[in-house]
Amino acid sequence: MAQRIRPVTGPETERARLDVALQVPAVPVVHAGDAAASVRGFTKSFGHRVVLHQLDLDIAPGEFVAMIGRSGSGKSTLLRALAGLDRDFGGTLAVPGSVAVAFQEPRLVPWKKVLANVSLGLRVPGASSVARQALAEVGLTELAAAWPLTLSGGEAQRASLARALVREPSLLLLDEPFSALDALTRMAMHRLVLSLWTQHKPAVLLVTHDVDEALALADRVLVLGDGRIAHSARIPVDRPRDRDHPELVALRLRLLTELGVPAESAF
């Protein structure tokens, strides 16, 4: 595989942040083998505080990985580094393809209409029709000419997903994108994400607080704790999944235990 090596230095700027929100060719690419993302010895400190320590992680092409962990465990820190937003870390990150990110807040540009938000920075022939197609895929055709501030939370998050997917990323990073949505909208978003993933097959790293969200969506769940991947579990259940499937019930208990949540408060 061809290797592109980019410098790891340079201050973070708002501009960089926007680029990544839109979609970026991201991090320094060292060597990823066949992985969509490969992390080796990743260490990140803020002042004297080591948040992530010697963390290793591989994500296979097309694999859907969910990462859970207590608040402050470093999930967003890892995601930001994978997105190329933070280049001040120890260890190596390798991401051979393109990366797109969707955050908890949809981060739409308020003075551009929905279609323009999706096509913003898209440099392909017929960008507008490509963006329209992406809007159709997330069920927002009717709202192409709407202003972002008129959208519901779910609609804005769908626009954000369209903006991420329109670039056909090989790695899609999702940082708690559904946590601000009500339960019904969240379930609809789960179905949408699975259908988009099935169709486009990017590798996905989804950060979530919600164990059930991870169990509904992912091929593999990681628990981040003590600055590293404390636990990794495959989910050997076909989708769509019944949350009462015995494998999922057992895994839920295991993951909650890993998170330090007492089993009796799990239901």
Which residues contribute to the site for ligand ADP (CB under 6 A)? 46, 51, 69, 71-77
134 CB-near residues (< 8 Å, 6+ apart): 118, 162, 163, 165, 166
Residue 76 beta carbon to ligand ADP: minimum distance, rounded to whole angstroms: 3
Distance of CA 216 to the CA centre of its chain: 15
Residue number with CB closer to Mg ion (37 or 166): 37
Residue 198 beta carbon to Mg ion: minimum distance, rounded to whole angstroms: 27
Q: Which residue has the tokens 């779910």?
A: 154
Asked if 258 and 250 touch (Cβ cutoff 8 Å), the reply is no
Residue 178's closest CA among 204, 212, 213, 148?
A: 213
Residue number with CB closer to ligand ADP (71 or 199): 71
Asked if 169 and 139 touch (Cβ cutoff 8 Å), the reply is no
Task: Name the one range near Mg ion by CB under 5 A: 43-51, 61-69, 74-82, 243-251.
Answer: 74-82
Which among ligand ADP, Mg ion, none contacts residue 119 (Cβ within 5 to 8 A by kind)? Answer: none
Rg (CA), the chain: 18
Residue 75 beta carbon to ligand ADP: minimum distance, rounded to whole angstroms: 4
Residue selected from 23, 38, 73, 76 as contacting Mg ion according to rule CB under 5 A: 76
At 48, list the tokens. Answer: 């004297």
Residue number with CB closer to ligand ADP (51 or 188): 51
**Is residue 153 classed exposed, middle or buried when 0-12, 13-18 and 19+ CB atoms within 10 A define those classes?**
middle
Asked if 199 and 133 touch (Cβ cutoff 8 Å), the reply is no
Residue 79 beta carbon to Mg ion: minimum distance, rounded to whole angstroms: 8
What is the secondary structure of 236-264 as a DSSP string? Answer: --PSSPPTT-HHHHHHHHHHHHHHT--GG
Q: What are phi and psi of 220, to 5 degrees?
A: -150, 140
d(CA 21, CA 225): 26
Is 160 a binding residue for Mg ion by CB under 5 A? The answer is: no
Residue number with CB closer to ligand ADP (86 or 137): 86
Task: Name the one range near Mg ion by CB under 5 A: 69-77, 130-138, 142-150, 163-171.
Answer: 69-77
Residue 172 beta carbon to Mg ion: minimum distance, rounded to whole angstroms: 17
Residue number with CB closer to ligand ADP (148 or 227): 227
Residue 86 beta carbon to ligand ADP: minimum distance, rounded to whole angstroms: 9
One character per residue 108-147, x = contact with Mg ion (rule: CB under 5 A) = ----------------------------------------
Residue number with CB closer to Mg ion (45 or 133): 45
Distance of CA 215 to the CA centre of its chain: 15
Residue 170 beta carbon to Mg ion: minimum distance, rounded to whole angstroms: 23
Residue number with CB closer to ligand ADP (83 or 144): 83
Residues that bind Mg ion (CB under 5 A): 75-76
